[in-house]
Amino acid sequence: MPDVLASFINLIPVTIAQSLIVAFVVLGVMIPFRLLGFPDLTSEGAYPLGGCVTGVLIASGYDPVFAMAVAACAGFLAGSTTAFIHLRFGINTLLAGILVMTMLYSINLRIMGRTNIALFTFDSLFKDINPENFNDPWFKIAVVGTLIAVILAALYYLLVTERGTTIRAVGASPDMAEAQGVSIWSATIFGVGSASLFTALGGGIMVQSQGFADVNMGFGILINGLAALIIGEAITGRKTVLRQLLAPIAGALAYYQLVSLCLSLGLAPADLKLATGLFVLIMLALPALRRGGNVPQLREKIRE
Amino acid sequence: MLEVKGAARTFYAGTSDERRALAGIDLTLNEGDFCVVIGSNGAGKSSLLNAVAGKLKLDHGSILIDGVDVTRLPVHRRARFISRVFQDPMLGTAPTMTVAENMLLADLRGKTPRLVPGLTAERQAVYRDRLAILNLGLEDRLDAPVGLLSGGQRQSLSLIMAVSNSPRLLLLDEHTAALDPKTAATVMDATIRTIAEFGLTVLMVTHNMSHALECGNRLIMMDSGHFQLQVATPEKDTLTVPDLIERFHVKSDRMLLQA
Ligand SMILES: Nc1ncnc2c1ncn2[C@@H]1O[C@H](COP(=O)(O)OP(=O)(O)OP(=O)(O)O)[C@@H](O)[C@H]1O
Ligand SMILES: [Mg+2]
Q: CA-to-CA distance for A234 and A213, rounded, in angstroms?
A: 33
Measure the CA–CA gap between A43 and A31, rounded to whole angstroms.
11
CB A18 within 8 A of CB A282: no
Residues of chain A neighbouring B164 (CB-CB closer than 8 A): none
Mean pLDDT in each 10-residue stretch from start to end of chain A (304 residues)? 80 94 97 95 96 97 96 98 97 96 96 93 91 90 97 97 96 93 96 98 97 93 94 92 96 94 89 88 81 49 51
Angle of CA points B242, B246, B248, to nearest 5° = 115
Per-position b or e across A29-56, b if 16+ CB within 10 A of its CB: bbbbbbbbbbbbbbbbbbbbbbbbbbbb
Using a CB-CB distance cutoff of 8 angstroms, which residues of chain A are in contact with residue B104?
A: 162, 165
pLDDT band at B217 (very low <50, low <70, confident <90, very high): very high
What DSSP element (H or E) covers B28?
Answer: strand B19-29
Q: Do B105 and A184 touch (CB under 8 A)?
A: no
B86 burial (CB, 10 Å; 0-12 / 13-18 / 19+) is buried
How many alpha carbons lie under 13 Å from residue A60 in its C-beta half-sphere? 12
pLDDT at A196: 98
Nearest to A209 by CA among A255, A140, A117: A140
What is the Cα Rg of chain B in Å?
19
Cα B46 to ligand 2 centre (Å): 4
pLDDT attached to residue A298: 47
Q: What is the mean pLDDT of residues B113-119?
A: 93
Please tell me the distance between residue B77's alpha carbon and the centre of ligand 1 in angstroms: 24
Give the residue from A168, A170, A173 with the most B CB atoms within 10 Å of its CB, the best one to mutate: A173
pLDDT band at B161 (very low <50, low <70, confident <90, very high): very high
pLDDT of residue B187: 86
CB A202 within 8 A of CB A43: no
Q: In the prediction, which pLDDT does A7 show?
A: 84
Query: Which strands form B2-11's sheet, in the order they lie side by side?
Result: B19-29, B2-11, B60-65, B68-69
Domains of chain B, residue spans: 2-81+167-258
Smallest CA-to-CA distance from B235 within B219, B215, B259, B256 is with B219
- Long-range pairs, A291-298, Cβ under 8 A, ≥24: A295/A234, A296/A230, A296/A233, A296/A234, A296/A238, A298/A33, A298/A226, A298/A230
Closest chain B residue to the Cα of A300, Cα to Cα: B96
Which candidate, B143, B74, B140, B136, places its Cα nearest to that of B102?
B143
B77, B92, B113 ranked by CB distance to A162: nearest? B113
Check residue A286 and give its pLDDT. Answer: 82
Q: Say which DSSP state A31 is in.
A: I
What is the length of chain A?
Answer: 304
B143 or A286, greater pLDDT: B143
Query: What DSSP line would sit under B99-123, residue for residue?
Result: HHHHHHHHHTTTSPPPSSBSS-HHH
Mutational pocket test of ligand 1: of B11, B20, B221, the residue with most ligand atoms within 8 Å of the beta carbon: B11
Ligand 1 pocket check: which of B4, B10, B17, B19 to mutate, most ligand atoms within 8 Å of Cβ?
B19
CB A225 within 8 A of CB A22: yes
Q: Which fold is adopted by the domain B2-81+167-258? A: Rossmann fold (3.40.50)
The conformation of residue A225, written as its DSSP 8-state character, comes to H
Contact predicate B197/B211, CB 8 Å: no
How many residues are present in chain B? 259
- Residue A168: closest CA among chain B residues belongs to which residue? B97
B89 touches chain A (CB under 8 A): no
How far apart are alpha carbons B223 and A247 in whole angstroms? 54
Choose the closest CB to B109 out of A160, A163, A180.
Answer: A180
pLDDT digits (tens, 9 = 90+) for B30-59: 999 999 999 888 899 999 999 999 999 999
Residues B219/B207, Cβ–Cβ less than 8 Å = no
Question: What band does B258 get if pLDDT is binned at 50, 70 and 90?
Answer: low
Closest Cα of chain B to A156: distance in Å? 11
pLDDT at A243: 96
Cα–Cα distance measured from residue A153 to residue A148, given in angstroms and rounded to the nearest whole number: 8
φ and ψ at B49, to 5 degrees? -65, -40
Secondary structure element (H or E) that encloses residue B71, with its range: none
Q: Are A276 and A220 in contact (CB under 8 A)?
A: yes
CB B113 within 8 A of CB A162: yes
Task: Tell me whether residue A89 is exposed, middle or buried, using C-beta atoms within 10 angstroms of its C-beta: 0 to 12, 13 to 18, 19 or more.
Answer: exposed
Nearest to B84 by CA among A185, A173, A178: A178
CA distance A21 to chain B (A): 28
